Amino acid sequence: MSTAAVMSEITALQQGLHSCETCGLLSRGAGGADEARCPRCDEELEFRKKTSIQRTWAFLIAAAICYIPANLLPVLTTTTAAGSDSDTIMQGVVLLWSPTGWPLSLIVLFASIMIPSAKILALAYLLVTTRRGSVENRRQRIRMYRMVEFIGRWSMVDVFVDTFTAALVQLQPLMWVKPAAGLFFFAAVVVLTMLAVESFDPRLIWDASGAQVAQHA
């Protein structure tokens, strides 16, 4: 591993250079043109993702709203001769807990309950600090962003657990499992938080001094 040669902390934006988000090429726009394209990959160029902060907030708020029914409504309904029984995600975690099954139970607890809520809180924190033009803890905040980006997909675990449990346990009239309403909201939380992460532009963390952020956010 080696470190790239530093030319003091000057950004492409300060030099008026477009850095292509698709292919990474640096290029300079002709003065007065209202749209810029990358000469290599033809991508439309912007200094920062368009309306990044607003779009991220929109996805995040939608995710937070869906988070409530996702946790309160049942995700699976099991029917046996003894009757029907509906489980929420948290009840699923409790059911999995056994002398041999507890590691899996912990995985589901982590992936389904802790990751989505931590993701929503972390993104809200990043949005607020970025909007305020905070220059504190920027390395920690960019690390937090990468963590959220990396770990977010694992929340889908519960969707797959419920899908294959329901697909497999189809032994009518002995016993069968069907997905329930909570599953839709849970899947929505996963998708919306992933979209929120994608709309956030991490470069805004480094733009600092509030003026610039307001200009390009």
Enumerate residues 53-92 that contact other proteins by CB under 8 A: none
Among 135, 170, 211, 217, binds other proteins (CB under 8 A): 170
Among 64, 108, 148, 213, binds other proteins (CB under 8 A): 108
- Largest CA-CA distance found in the chain, in angstroms, rounded: 75
User: 79 near 176, Cβ under 8 Å?
Assistant: yes
Give the closest residue to 121 by CA, choosing from 71, 202, 113, 93.
113
Among 61, 85, 133, 154, binds other proteins (CB under 8 A): 154
Stretch that binds other proteins, among 50-58, 62-70, 122-130, 180-188 (CB under 8 A): 180-188
Both tokens of 104, joined, read: 């899996």
* Least Cβ distance, residue 214 to other proteins (angstroms): 17
Q: Which is nearer to other proteins, 88 or 207 (CB)?
A: 207
163 binds other proteins, rule: CB under 8 A: yes
Q: Which is nearer to other proteins, 13 or 65 (CB)?
A: 13
131 binds other proteins, rule: CB under 8 A: no
Please tell me the distance from the alpha carbon of residue 65 to that of residue 82, in angstroms, as a whole number: 35
Q: Which is nearer to other proteins, 61 or 156 (CB)?
A: 156
Cα angle, residue 37 at apex, residues 35 and 40 outer, rounded to 5°:
175
DSSP lists the bridge partners of residue 177 as 78
User: 152 near 193, Cβ under 8 Å?
Assistant: yes
User: 90 near 75, Cβ under 8 Å?
Assistant: no
Stretch that binds other proteins, among 51-59, 116-124, 127-135, 185-193 (CB under 8 A): 185-193
Among 136, 160, 209, 211, binds other proteins (CB under 8 A): 160
Q: What single-letter amino acid sits at 61?
A: I
Stretch that binds other proteins, among 50-58, 63-71, 107-115, 125-133 (CB under 8 A): 107-115
Cα angle, residue 175 at apex, residues 174 and 177 outer, rounded to 5°:
160
Please tell me the distance from the alpha carbon of residue 216 to that of residue 113, in angstroms, as a whole number: 34
Q: Which is nearer to other proteins, 95 or 113 (CB)?
A: 95
According to CB under 8 A, which residues from 1 to 30 bind other proteins? 1-7, 9-13, 15, 17-19, 21-30
Stretch that binds other proteins, among 36-44, 55-63, 65-73, 116-124 (CB under 8 A): 36-44
Can you list the alpha helix ranges (DSSP code H) found in 97-156? 102-108, 115-131, 138-151
